[in-house]
Amino acid sequence: MYARLQRLFLSETFARYLGASIAALACDVALFLLLLRAEIPPMAASAAAYIAGIIVHWILSTRFVFDSGMVARGIARTRQKGMFVVTALIGLAITTLIVGCGDLLGLDPRLAKLAAIAVSFQATYVARRTTIFRL
């Protein structure tokens, strides 16, 4: 079990995923803060920003992170995209739930967003690395 966790988190793929995640996160957080400034409710702002980050993440993941795990065009590729979207929706649900709960508890939405980032990052990486882009 330890060897498998080490392989998941101490690899070149993980380093590239981290880089792609940082770029997607920059997009996500920038939009989140802009939407908060525009007085969009925190939960809606978090969801909209996360979706923008998902788009950036797909582009970077398929070109620089899991490029060797991409399948040929056709139904298999469509299935792979669908699975990516499912993991993104799971991450979105985690993010929205954590930010929403933080808002209900009166926490600063930026702090709730930081907690959501940490949790959703780990969940989506493991799901994508082990199921969608098996390397």
CB neighbours of 113 closer than 8 A, spacing ≥ 6? 29, 32, 46, 95, 98, 99, 102
The least confident of 6-10, 75-79, 116-120 is: 6-10
Q: What does the alpha-carbon distance between residue 86 and residue 106 come to, in Å, rounded to a whole number?
A: 30
DSSP track, 71-107 = PPTTHHHHHHHHHHHHHHHHHHHHHHHHHHHHHHTT-
Domain ranges for the chain: 2-132
Tracing tokens 């959703």 back to the chain, one arrives at 120
pTM metric for this prediction: 0.67
Residues 5, 19, 38: CA angle, nearest 5 degrees: 120
Quick one: pLDDT band at residue 102, thresholds 50, 70, 90? very high
Query: Residues for the chain: how many in total?
Result: 135
Q: What percent of the chain has pLDDT over 90?
A: 30
What type of residue sits at position 131? T
Could you report the per-residue pLDDT of 121-130, keeping only the tens digit for each?
Answer: 889 888 888 8
The answer on pLDDT for 135 being more than 60 is: no
